[in-house]
Each structure stands twice: as C-alpha cells, then as structure tokens.
Amino acid sequence: MEEQTNESVVKYFAKKGYLIDRDVSEFFIKLKNNALAEKILNHLFMLTKQRVISNSLLNNYSNELKPLLSQESTEKNLAIDSFLLNSKPREKKDEKPIQLARITPKVKVLSSNIIPYRRIEVKDFVTHFKNRYNFFKDILRERKELTNLVSINKIGNNRSFSVIGIVSAKRITKNKNMILEIEDLTGKINALVGSDKEEIFKKAKEIILDDVVGLKCSGNGEILYVNDIFLPEGHLLERKRSEEESYAIFISDIHIGSRLFLEKNFERFLDWLNCIDVDEKMKEKIMKIKYMFITGDNVDGVGIYPAQEASLLIKDMKDQYKKLYEYLDRVPKRITMVMCPGQHDAVRVPEPQPPVDEEFAPELTKMNNLLLVSNPALIEIDSSETKIGFKVLMYHGASMHSWIDELEELRGAQCNLNPSKVVKHMITHRHLSPMHSGNVYIPSDKEDMLIVKDLPDVIATGDMHRTDVDMFNNILIICGSCWQSITPFEEKVGNLPDPCKVPMLNLKTREIKILDFTLAEENNEKTCKETKDTVVCEVKK
C-alpha cells in the first residue's frame, strides 16, 4: 500500500461520500486498512445519518463500533487498541443531535450535502425526479382545496377533481391559452389554463418546467380544464427571536485574487470587526457579533471563464486561498464563521457543491472558528438545550439567472437590482433550482438536494453582487453584496454591483442594518460609524 497522507485519505473518503476531519484521517492512516475504515464510516452513517465525521462523533459511538473492530481485526492492531482504550463513548440516555467538529455549542450543521463521485446514468435522473415528486405530493395533498385527489390514470369523465403532477412541458396556444403537460407516476395528460381566468392564468405564468403542482380541475382522460393552481409554497408560522441581544453578519463574493478586489475596503471591514477607530456605542454592538456567514465566490478562481488570467492579481488558486486565510484569521475568534462555496471556488460546479477542502485551502480547514459547508447548506445558530435556534439556509445563487430568464415577471422587475424577488420565487416553489436545464446539478439516489425541505428563518444568498433585504412568508431574505468592483462582463450585461455592504441582523429584535464600507473618494475615510452614510438601510422585521 502506498504511504498515505492526511490529504490523500481525506480525498479518498470524499470520493466515497464522507468528509472526515484531521484526527479521523490520522486514525485511518494508523489503521492501514481502508476497507475497514470504510466499514466504520458506513456503520456510523447507518447509526447517525451523518456523512461529516469528526473525531468526537467517532468517540461517541465507540461502543457501537467495538463489535465491528473486533470482528475485522485478525491480528494485534495498536491503532484499534489505542482507539478503544482512549475513546469516551456517549451515555446511552444522551440522544441529542450530534454536533460537528470545530463548532460552538450554539452552531449546528443541519444539512451539508456531499454526493460521492460516481458515473451518472439516466436512471439516476429518473430516481431524482421521482423523489422530488413524492416529496411535494405529500406536501400538496395536505392542501384542503385539493379535494377528490386522483392519479392521472384514474381520471373519469366531467367531474370536479384534483391532480398532483410534475410539469414536463408548457406552451401558449393560438388563442392565448396555456397548455401544461402534467405527469405523475401513472401517466401524462394536458391541462388547459384559459386566458380569460386572469388570476389563474397569472399563477400559471409563474410555473416553470419540472415544478410539482396541484391542479383543481374538471375534464376527462383526454384533457383537463384548470380551475385553480397550487404550488408547494413555504410559510413559517412564527418569526423567531433570541432571548439575548446578539448579531449575525452576512458577506459574500469576496473574489480574492482578482485585480478588481477592493482590498482597502475589506481591510476597513476587518478593522471595524476588531473595533479599530470606532466609537463606544458601535463597539458595544460589534462585541455582540457572534456569527458571520460567507456565501460563496470566496476567491476569484483560475480558468473560470476565458482569458480570466489577465484579470487576476494572484494566479494560483492555492495562493488565493492562502490570502483569504490571512484575512479571515484577523476576524475575532469570538465570531463563528460559516463559509459555503460558489462557482469561482475550488470545488465542482454542479450543485450541491462540496465544502472547500484541504487540497486547496489547508489553512482554512484548520481554523477553529471557521466552519466549511456545502452549497447549499442549512445551519442552526443561537440554539441551546432548551430551544431551537435560527435556521439559516445558505445558497450562493447560481440558479438566479435561469429564474430571471424563465419568468416574465422577474425579467420585467429589474431583478439584477433586487435579487430578493428571485428568492421569493424559490420560497413559493420551495426549490432552489427546479428546472432541469436551469442549473448544473448532480442527481442523488436518495433525495433532491435542492429542495427547501426544512423551512429556514433566514435565506442568505450571493452571486448577484447586490445587497437586498426583504421578508416573505415570515422568512427573512438577505442577499449579499460583494468586495469586487464592476467587471467587464457586468458592464456588458448591464449589471450594477453594490459592493462593500454588510447586513447586520439583531437576533433579538430582528432589526437589520446595512453597513457601508466603501471609501469616500474625497477623504479616504477609514472609520465606520453608525451615521447616515454608513447605515444605508434599516428595516424592522
């Protein structure tokens, strides 16, 4: 067997669908048995349903692993003996959710999906869409309005009924009516939406391909006449609040390595976090910042688009991450940072994207106050043994452009300036990117990873380079700014970035303030005070 390193072991098991920390990889190196190590991981997954494996998780379940280790170990193995001797298994009565390594007790990763590398076949997409259909069918069938639900192959003649199906085609007829081709697990049928039914026709225009919808209709086995349309819209019953005053801040699209990276502005932000040149009132708030979310495109990358090299100041991706580490290392250690990747990061483009790993960013993986997660990822903050915390859904937002291209309402609403309008549709459709051709993704054999399965309290996005804050169905939408000046591509397509803005959420009052870290040209101001020029938006939710 070739000599193994931490890097090679982490990479090997990432291909198997697991993310392991440094201590676990060192144990596996000493084990010198990858087959046994994989059995350990599979057994842990069976017990915990977790694919991110920390040393504490391994120790917690050491009693459950003992039979496996004894059975597989045919000779004296010091690594196994040391593990069994030094591990401290959890008490049986403690069945609380297991937390991952390097996170505070008030931060939990509820979902950080990693799909292992494998050959994708047609059957994988079939399973993917079946899983999606079944999930949304269970949600839609709870709608009281969808009476007399039937499957397509059981449709009778001329009676009122409801169907749930996935939209496989959509077109406008010569008479300006709309035809939706609806499919379920039993068959396929056309559904007509009359243009004279204005409210229903408006709902139909919001449907995109591969949506799962509920239709209240009449008709027969040849064609349906739609009387109402229902999407699996997400709606929270309450707006969560923290008992104590604390803050979460949101940044995105840093683009380290780009010649257009706004270095002075970002350093000004870091100085502000360290209470440099701030008044006492502002310092009091800064000291209560506990969480920072970084939603993708953390570096500018290499080879992301043609001729990118000319626009790079740092032309090696590992060096870009090293520089990013130097900046993030200046963030006060009391602040827990959570970072997901974007299209420019050193991960695969298809979603869900895995976390940035040790191969390109070894320094980041060792930071005790930085949690690297997938894109998308669901994080819970400010939780305790007695209460559920805020759920934050992080999604960089690559699909936003396809949403805008597909929906007439969004095309006419200047959504490049107001990206929260796009996120509202994600909540209404309860999916981050439902259309098959709208975004590059990897189908899972277990579930559609881009479904908004658990409704979050906050959705944090990036990608559009503009700050936007809104509320929809009690879900707070925070679209991140950027730290890069306007690029030639943005000029070409008419996008106007709004750089160096930082939304700050008060978890107790739900008040949001957007701090402006742009530098005034006339005096190169380096301080950030709570004044009109720094607080450009204040919204109470």
DSSP structure string for 24-42: HHHHHHHHT-HHHHHHHHH
Q: What is the pLDDT of residue 513?
A: 93
Query: Is residue 154 scored above 60 in pLDDT?
Result: yes
Pairing of strands 223-230, 212-219: antiparallel
Cβ pair 396, 410 in contact under 8 A: no
Query: Phi and psi dihedrals of 66, rounded to 5?
Result: -55, -45
Determine the average pLDDT of the residues in 465-470. Answer: 93
Range picked from 18-27, 100-109, 235-244, 269-278 for highest mean pLDDT? 269-278
- The CB density around residue 477, as the number of other CB atoms within 10 Å, is 22
Q: Could you check whether the bond before residue 488 is cis, i.e. omega within 30 degrees of 0?
A: no
Please name which of 303, 339, 336, 305 lies closest in space to residue 324, comparing C-alpha atoms.
Answer: 339
Structure tokens at 133: 């259909």
Determine the average pLDDT of the residues in 186-197. Answer: 93
The amino acid at residue 264 is K
Q: What is the pLDDT of residue 17?
A: 76
The DSSP string of 182-243 is EE-SS-EEEEEE-TTSHHHHHHHHT--TT-EEEEEEEE-SSEEEEEEEE------S-----S
If you average pLDDT over every residue of the chain, what do you get? 84
pLDDT band, very low/low/confident/very high, at 36 (cuts 50, 70, 90): confident
The DSSP string of 58-80 is HHHTHHHHHHHHHHH--S--HHH
Residue 34, Cβ density class (10 Å: 0-12 exposed, 13-18 middle, ≥19 buried) = middle
Q: Can you list the pairs that 533-537 forms with residues at least 24 positions away whose Cβ atoms lie under 8 Å?
A: 536/501, 537/467, 537/469, 537/512, 537/513
Topology of 247-540 in CATH? Purple Acid Phosphatase; chain A, domain 2 (3.60.21)
Pairing of strands 475-479, 468-472: antiparallel
Q: What is the pLDDT of residue 527?
A: 37
Q: Could you check whether the bond before residue 332 is cis, i.e. omega within 30 degrees of 0?
A: no
Quote the Cα angle for 275-276-281, to 5°. Answer: 50
Cβ pair 334, 276 in contact under 8 A: no
Q: Which residue has the higher pLDDT, 425 or 221?
A: 425
Q: What is the pLDDT of residue 121?
A: 85
Structure tokens at 156: 């009778």
Domain ranges in the chain with CATH number 3.60.21.50 = 247-540
Cβ pair 379, 446 in contact under 8 A: no
Distance set, CA 443 to CA 121, 123, 131, 134, 446 (Å): 9, 10, 10, 15, 9
**Rounded distance, CA 462 to CA 499, Å?**
12
Write the pLDDT tens digit of every residue in 355-374: 998 889 999 999 989 999 99
**Rounded distance, CA 354 to CA 14, Å?**
9
- The CB density around residue 491, as the number of other CB atoms within 10 Å, is 10
Structure tokens at 230: 């229902």
**338 alpha carbon, distance to own chain's centre:** 11
Question: Rounded to 5, what percent of the chain is helix, strand, coil?
Answer: 30, 25, 50
Q: What is the pLDDT of residue 70?
A: 61
Query: Is residue 158 scored above 80 in pLDDT?
Result: no
Q: What is the pLDDT of residue 88?
A: 61
The owner of tokens 């009281």 is: 144
Determine the average pLDDT of the residues in 398-413. Answer: 86
Q: Is the dihedral of CA 239, 240, 242, 246 positive or negative?
A: negative
Query: Is residue 106 scored above 90 in pLDDT?
Result: no
**Rounded distance, CA 28 to CA 147, Å?**
56
The amino acid at residue 457 is D
Domain ranges in the chain with CATH number 2.40.50.140 = 141-230
The owner of tokens 């006339």 is: 522
3-class SS of residue 519: coil
3-class SS of residue 528: coil
Q: Which residue has the higher pLDDT, 437 or 343?
A: 343
Q: What is the pLDDT of residue 409?
A: 84
Burial call 333-353: b when 16+ CB within 10 Å, e when fewer: eebbbbbbbbbbbbbeeebbb
Q: What is the pLDDT of residue 517?
A: 93
Percent of the chain whose predicted confidence (pLDDT) is above 70: 87
Options 2.40.50.140, 3.40.50.720, 2.60.40.10, 1.20.1260.10; CATH of 141-230: 2.40.50.140
Please name which of 159, 161, 167, 109 lies closest in space to residue 136, comparing C-alpha atoms.
Answer: 167
Element (H, E) at 170: strand 161-172
